[in-house]
Every structure is written in C-alpha cells, then in structure tokens.
Chains A and B, each alone.
Chain A
C-alpha cells in the first residue's frame, strides 16, 4: 500500500493553476520534489495536507482518504514547512511539552536523543536559535513520534553542509530502520543526488517527471562542444541550449545522443537537468 497517493489534483488561484498532479510515495522510499520557485511545490504539499482546498483530485495516505480521515492521518505523519518559526518567545521544552500531547506515539527517549544529537538546549527560547538550529528543532519534533511518512518543505535550506549531511543520514536511518517514507522538496538538488530514491519534478503547476531517480538521471546526458561541430538536427533537440564564443552547452536525452560523434557527452545530474529544462 502506498504511503501517499495523489490523483488528478487540481488547484486554481487567480494567477496560478496546479494541473492534474498525480504521483505516489511508496513505503520505505525517499521521494525528492523539485521545481523552481513558484512552480507549485508548496501548493501541492498544502493541498495534500488539506491546508488549502483542492478544486479536484483525490488524496490517500496509507489507503485512507484525505480529508475524511484527516485526524488519524495527521497522527501518522510529520510535516515541516521550513524552519520552526513559531512561538519565538517560548522555551523549546514548553513547545515540545505542548506538541507531544497530540501524538500517542510520542517517544520521549527518542526526543532527548535528537536534542542531544543536534546539540539543542531545551531551556533556550526559539528566538535564540539560528535558522539552522530552528530547522533542527522542527525536525526533532517531527522525528520523535515515529511518523510513518515525513512531508518536508525545504528541510535542508539554511543548514550548513555538515548539518545537511547529518540530516540526510538521519533520513536514511528513518527509512532503513523504521520503514518510514519521506517526501521532501528542496532547491538543493545535490541532496537528492545523494539519497533520493524517486524524483517528482513540477514545472508551471504540472508534473513533468515522476520516476525512479537513477533511471531519470541516466536518461539524460550533458553535452558541450564547438557550435560548428553541432549537427543541425541535434541542435533542435538540445534542452537548455546555451551558446557563447563559438561553444555551446546543454542537455540531451540519451536516445538523441546515440551515434553522434565529435561532441563531449558527460553524465547528467539533477541540477543540470533542472537548470536546462527550466531554460527551455
């Protein structure tokens, strides 16, 4: 049974339209959600959590319909939207004391472990924490009730590289040892290169890719070389074609690269795929 299944989700705002969004997050997998600013990532996440009302579509968590089973679903998931930017005057222990009451599976020992792991002092006020530390506190709360699915919007933004790496390892631990699933959006595609199993890519409110990450990345090649050496028929198929001083660069599908010689083809990564796709 999928941890999350979204079918034909639609949400219309005066200046934005989320169109026919369908995807599923399988148990024990990490799905990365990418797209440029304003593409619809947060709207998608808010829609599946019933924070905004979709115009159409169906959403199921663990086979349960949302919003009919909202209460039960929210006890089994954890959500973070950016840093913990709430109740800045309150002590961390006060916020945790309130938060834990809502989750029957709250694990106090696990909570203390994460506090220690992230070097968080529960006697501090939230406003005394840096952006990175407040993200860690938000994660500490989210991770301490054995959630079966974590929905995280930009969880790694604002963290230093060491903390990001730490966090990614924690994600892997949660998935590997607790069998939980993670659905997280980020601009830092290198994080997804490291540990995402699947990729969901949204552009202008529409899903343009939803597949296994390695297969998705392997289906593209970066290409560069002299413009003079570029066959005319290939030029039209290059994604994100960029030319300067007689040299070009871009992205091609593996199928388009076959049989072409004289150009430099290298493996693509998520960042180059996203940048070139957005460049058009």
Chain B
C-alpha cells in the first residue's frame, strides 16, 4: 500500500494537483464564492484520472504485484490527500482574511469553520460519485466528472441557500467567528466526508474487481 501511494505521488498525480493546492489564497478575495477555491482541486483530480488514460496508469499498476482493491485504495488515498492538503493550506488564508478584511463576504459563506465543514461534504460527494463511476469502465472520465460536479454543485448550492435564507443559520454559520454551531458543522462535515469515502472505496473497489482490463 505504501508503495502504491508512492507510485501515485511520483508518477500518477497531474501537476495541477499540486499547483491548485495554492488556490486557498483565493480566500483573501473580499467577496467571492469560496467553494470555488476548493472546486479547482476536483478539476485537478479529473486531470489525474484523464492523464492516467494517456500514461496507461491502470494497466501498469494492474501488472504489479498488487491487489486490485489496493489500486483503488491508493488512488482514493491520493485524492483524499490532495483534498485535505487543499483545505489545510487554505486555513492560514482564512485566518488572515478575518484579520485584514473585516467585512462580510457578500458572495457567499464567510471563510469560517462551517465553510470548511461544507467543503468536506463537497469533496465527499464528489468522491462518492466520481470514483465508482470511473471504476465501472477504468477509462471513462468525462461523464463521471460531469455527474460528480453536478451533484456536488447541487448539494453546495442547496446548503448555501438554506444558510442564507434561514436567519438563525445565517447568524450562526455565516460569520468568521469560531462558535459552537460552526464547530459542529466542521465535525459533521468531517464525519460525512469519512463515511462517503468509505462508500466510495467499497463501490469503486467492487466495480474495479469486476472489470476486464
């Protein structure tokens, strides 16, 4: 498993996966839908899978002494790694924003713990749709990506709308202040992220094991 993860970092991850990690800096834009800063990482993940078709990644990996389930596990591990790193790198910028730009974000949720909780859910939804769809064929990336981003966008827009249109929620969550409801959303997001990734792994591994390469 450690070797497979090493292979992911050295050979498989598309360079945009690393470049887009820096997009957390977008949290310094005073008025901006901050989910977009994290959305870019899903694009980089898509590029990694698409690039895998060009580099024959799956075939190279399947010929190694590895279990097919571990191939999926390593790829999901790399995806989760990129997503979590994207969020960790964004944290200092969120703190900096609250220090240097005291005004409210007029384009959506503030850079808060609740935002990070919802981004966890956003990434979880992306993973649970995209990966199992991809591993059904082992090469089709376009349709799975469109489907995953569509579901992910619907979930995020719905969450944003509910928060913005419900005064109590807006007051509790749409603020950079570190409050209990924000902490609850953060940990709920983390839990949902973990559960969705577990489902993503099980469904992807099962699809990949059935697949004829």
Q: Pick from A81, A98, A101, A103 the residue with the most CB of B within 10 Å.
A: A98
- Decide: A71 and B56 in contact? CB cutoff 8 A: no
| Assembly CA distance A44 to B57 (angstroms) | 22
The answer to whether the Cβ of A92 comes within 8 Å of any Cβ in the partner chain is: no
User: What are 26 A-B residue pairs whose CB atoms fall within 8 Å in the complex?
Assistant: A51-B59, A51-B62, A51-B63, A51-B212, A52-B213, A53-B210, A53-B212, A70-B67, A71-B67, A74-B63, A74-B65, A79-B63, A81-B63, A85-B56, A86-B60, A87-B56, A89-B55, A90-B11, A94-B11, A95-B11, A98-B10, A99-B64, A101-B3, A101-B6, A102-B3, A103-B65
Say yes or no: is A49 at the interface (Cβ < 8 Å to chain B): yes
Query: Closest residue of chain A to B65, judged by CB?
Result: A74
Assuming the contacts A70-B67, A74-B64, A102-B65, asked whether A86 and B57 have C-beta atoms less than 8 A apart, the reply is yes
CB-CB nearest 6 A-B residue pairs: A74-B65, A52-B212, A86-B56, A101-B3, A75-B65, A86-B60
Kindly list chain B residues whose C-beta atoms are within 8 Å of the C-beta of A74: 63-66
Q: Within A67-100, which residues are at the interface with B (CB < 8 Å)?
A: 70-75, 79, 81, 85-90, 94-95, 97-99
Check if A46 is an interface residue, CB within 8 A of chain B.
yes
CA distance A89 to B15 in the complex (A): 11
Interface residues of B (CB under 8 A from A): 3, 6-7, 10-11, 54-57, 59-60, 62-67, 210, 212-213
* B residues in contact with A49, CB < 8 Å: 63
User: A256 to chain B: closest CB distance in Å?
Assistant: 42
Chain A, 199-211, contact with B by CB distance < 8 Å: what is the 0/1 string?
A: 0000000000000
Contact A86 B59 (CB under 8 A): yes
Which chain A residues border B59 with CB–CB below 8 Å? 51, 81, 86
Mask of A217-251 contacts with B, CB within 8 angstroms, 1/0: 00000000000000000000000000000000000
Which of A51, A73, A79 has most chain B Cβ within 10 Å?
A51
Chain A contacts with B in 35-81, Cβ cutoff 8 A = 46, 49, 51-53, 70-75, 79, 81
CA distance A51 to B210 in the complex (A): 10
Q: A52-B212, A71-B65 given. 19 additional CB < 8 A pairs?
A: A46-B212, A51-B63, A70-B67, A71-B66, A72-B65, A81-B59, A85-B56, A86-B55, A86-B57, A86-B59, A87-B11, A88-B54, A89-B55, A90-B10, A94-B10, A97-B10, A98-B11, A102-B65, A102-B66
How far, in Å, is B199 (CB) from chain A's closest CB? Answer: 24
Total contacting residues, chain A, CB less than 8 A: 27
Contact: B60 with A87, CB < 8 Å? yes
- Using a CB–CB cutoff of 8 Å, the interface residues on chain A facing chain B are 46, 49, 51-53, 70-75, 79, 81, 85-90, 94-95, 97-99, 101-103
Cβ–Cβ < 8 Å partners of B210 in chain A: 53
B65 to chain A, nearest CB (A): 4
Q: How far is the CA of A122 from the CA of B213 in the complex (A)?
A: 29
List, in ascending order, chain A residues with CB within 8 A of B54's CB.
Answer: 88
B212 (CB) vs chain A CBs: closest residue? A52
Task: Tell me, rounded to whole Å, the shortest Cβ–Cβ distance linking B201 to chain A.
Answer: 19
Which residue of chain B has the shortest Cβ distance to A98 in the bound complex? B7
Complex contacts, A97 vs chain B, CB 8 Å:
10
B10, B55, B65, B213: most-surrounded residue (chain A CB, <10 A) = B65
How near does chain A come to B134, taking the closest CB pair, in angstroms? 18
**Chain B nearest Cβ from A77, distance in angstroms:** 9
Interfacial chain B residues near A46, Cβ < 8 Å: 212-213
Residue of B at shortest CB range from A51? B213
Bound Cα distance from A53 to B59, whole angstroms: 15
Is the beta-carbon distance between B55 and A87 smaller than 8 angstroms?
yes
The residue in chain B whose Cβ has the minimal distance to the Cβ of A101 is B3
Q: Give chain A nearest CB distance to B39 CB in angstroms.
A: 26
Alpha-carbon separation in the docked complex, A97 to B56 (Å):
18
A72 to B62, CA, bound (A): 14
In the complex, A52 Cα to B63 Cα: how many Å? 12
> Across the two chains, which residue of chain A brings its CB closest to B55?
A87
CB–CB B64/A102 < 8 A = yes
Q: Which residue of chain B is the closest to A52 with respect to CB atoms?
A: B212
Chain A min CB distance to B61 (Å): 9
**Residues of A contacting B67 with CB < 8 Å?**
70-71
Contacts of B10 in A (CB 8 A): 90, 94, 97-98
Q: Which residues of B contact A87 (CB under 8 A)?
A: 11, 55-57, 60
Q: Give the docked Cα–Cα distance between A16 and B143 (Å).
A: 28
